[in-house]
Each structure stands twice: as structure tokens, then as C-alpha cells.
């Protein structure tokens, strides 16, 4: 099984050699497309953000933009009183919930997340998206690049941050190191690449049928695409990596890396976490491999942010 190197750091007590980690970060991301850093965020910051979420967002009657539907909706609660429809773009919340956004941006800026992404990309990063999860029903494995990417593919870096201990039972994050190379026959072999290209054809059909709302055809394409992806991964000998995460752990991954989260085995557990995506400042956003969106950069909390 392919495993990510563990490189430990904490923003409250960064080692003096941190500035020399740039080459290690870049090499690891270049080799695997992902990087796992345990206890990157302090317990204090994790606790503050969860408390702010509970005090300002969880029991709000407002509608929030959602990850799966891309629509503004009210919270949906499980029988254990956990919000199960994750929030999208929580860095730009309005009115009374804006204090959560301010705290999130402050924590992101202080946590060395942007600085680490800068070391990975080799240029200044721009924040383009955030999400917050209390609980959910699992996230199907996917490549972010199928949804949005940079004009130079792979220049969007995602960071998933555990705000509490997250076990597999709670629906932990998983990923496939080296899956970003499925389109490179020199890395994975010609057969694996050909299967991956067939999978991409299914993705394009899935997008077209989704727009037409043909649910039966969509499900057929979905099943075929998953089968082709399984075959490509097996031919490339690429395995899934997961773990039980500790509070403050972070996974960095590029937009060409396959990842997702498990469906919770026990719905009584939460998985408080957030994700943030950055893009190189020299790039533009590309949605669904078609629509190019120039960056509209604003500054807030010492961060460069793309204003949607």
C-alpha cells in the first residue's frame, strides 16, 4: 500500500528548520499529489472554531450555501442533532454569522496553511473555496479537477483539516496517493491510462446528463465510470489510504488527486472539520473543464481571496 510521509509541525511551535521544508513539501506533493501533516493546527484554534460554529451557525434559521446542491438551504439534522448538509464558502458568510467567517480566516492565516501551500506551489496562493462539516452521509470519491481546476491543471491545492479526532466510524477522509498520475502512461502504464481516459469520457457524459436531469441514464453512466476507475486504479496498483485522524491533522492534496469520505458507520459521531482550496495567483479558475473565470482578488485578514 502507498502511504504518505508524515511530517509533523504546529503553527504555535514551528521548528527552526521549517523554512528548509519547502523542498520536502514540493517533492512529496510532486511524488504523490498529497501530503499528511499531523497536529498542524493547535487544539486551541480547533476548539475556538467549533465553539463559534455551535454559537453562531448550528441553530441559525438562515439558509446557507450547501456543498452538494450548490443551493441555499436550511440545516438538515440527523436524529442525533447533527447538521448533515455541509456548508460551502463559509469564509464569506453575512450578517450575524460573519463572525464565524472572520474567525475562520484568522485561523487560516495564522495556521501557516497559506505559507505551506506557497511552498508547494512556488508562488502566492489565493483562497477560492471553503467548506465546513459537522457530519454528513459520506462523499463519493472524486477528483476536484472534474469540477474546478486551474488553467494549468493541478494548480489548485485543497487542505482538509480535522477539528476533532475523526475515526473511520465518523466518516473519515480518504485519498489515493499517486492517483493524479492516472493520465500519464509513463507513471502508471498504458492500460491504466486507457481505462482512466474511458472514465473521463463517462464523466463528460455524466455532466451532460446531469444538466438534462436524465436520472436513469445518469445512474448507468455513474456505475460504468466507477467500474472503469476501479480497473484503472488496480492496473496502476494505486491503493486507498485512510486513518483515524487526530485533532489538528491536515491533508494537502492537488486537484488531480482522487479523494472522498466514508459514510459514517455510527451516526452518533461527528466529524467537525473544514476544507479550504487555494489556487496559484497567476492562474484562472476553470469550471467543468469549460468555463474560464479570471480571479477577482480581494484582501481580507492578510489573505488573498477570490471574490465570487
Which residues does the chain have with pLDDT short of 70?
A: 1-22, 206-215, 218, 267
Tens digit of each residue's pLDDT (9 = 90 or more) over 241-276: 999 999 999 999 999 999 999 988 876 889 999 999
Burial class (CB in 10 A: 0-12, 13-18, 19+), 205: middle
pLDDT at 266: 74
**Entry pTM:** 0.89
Q: Which pLDDT does position 163 carry in this prediction?
A: 98
The per-residue pLDDT for 7 is: 39
Quick one: pLDDT at residue 285? 93
For the chain, helix, strand, coil in percent to 5 are 40, 25, 35
Amino acid at each position: 500500500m502507498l502511504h504518505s510521509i508524515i511530517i509533523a509541525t504546529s503553527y504555535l511551535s514551528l521548528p527552526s528548520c521549517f523554512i528548509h521544508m519547502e523542498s520536502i513539501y514540493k517533492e512529496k506533493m510532486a511524488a504523490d499529489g498529497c501530503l499528511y501533516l499531523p497536529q498542524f493546527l493547535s487544539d486551541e484554534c480547533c476548539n475556538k472554531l467549533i465553539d463559534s460554529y455551535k454559537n453562531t451557525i448550528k441553530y441559525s434559521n438562515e439558509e446557507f450555501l450547501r456543498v452538494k446542491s450548490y443551493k441555499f438551504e436550511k440545516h438538515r439534522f440527523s436524529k442525533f442533532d447533527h447538521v448533515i448538509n455541509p456548508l460551502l464558502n463559509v469564509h464569506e458568510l453575512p450578517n450575524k454569522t460573519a463572525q464565524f467567517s472572520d474567525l475562520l480566516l484568522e485561523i487560516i492565516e495564522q495556521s501557516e496553511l497559506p505559507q505551506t501551500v506557497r511552498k508547494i506551489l512556488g508562488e502566492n496562493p489565493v483562497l477560492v473555496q471553503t467548506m465546513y462539516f459537522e457530519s454528513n452521509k459520506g462523499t463519493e470519491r472524486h477528483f476536484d479537477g472534474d469540477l474546478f481546476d486551474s488553467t494549468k491543471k493541478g494548480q489548485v491545492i485543497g487542505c482538509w483539516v480535522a477539528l476533532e479526532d475523526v475515526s473511520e466510524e465518523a466518516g473519515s477522509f480518504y485519498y489515493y496517493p499517486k492517483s493524479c498520475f492516472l493520465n500519464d502512461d509513463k507513471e502508471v502504464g498504458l492500460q491504466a491510462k486507457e481505462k482512466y481516459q474511458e472514465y473521463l469520457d463517462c464523466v463528460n457524459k455524466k455532466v451532460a446528463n446531469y444538466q438534462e436531469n436524465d436520472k436513469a441514464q445518469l445512474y448507468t453512466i455513474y456505475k460504468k465510470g466507477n467500474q472503469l476507475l476501479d480497473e484503472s486504479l488496480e492496473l496502476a496498483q494505486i491503493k486507498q489510504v485512510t486513518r483515524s485522524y487526530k485533532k489538528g491533522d491536515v491533508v494537502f492534496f492537488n486537484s488531480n488527486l482522487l479523494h472522498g469520505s466514508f459514510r459514517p458507520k455510527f451516526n452518533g459521531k461527528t466529524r467537525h472539520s473544514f476544507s479550504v482550496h487555494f489556487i496559484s495567483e497567476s492562474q484562472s479558475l476553470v469550471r467543468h473543464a469549460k468555463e474560464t473565470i479570471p480571479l477577482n482578488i480581494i484582501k481580507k485578514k492578510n489573505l488573498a481571496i477570490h471574490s465570487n
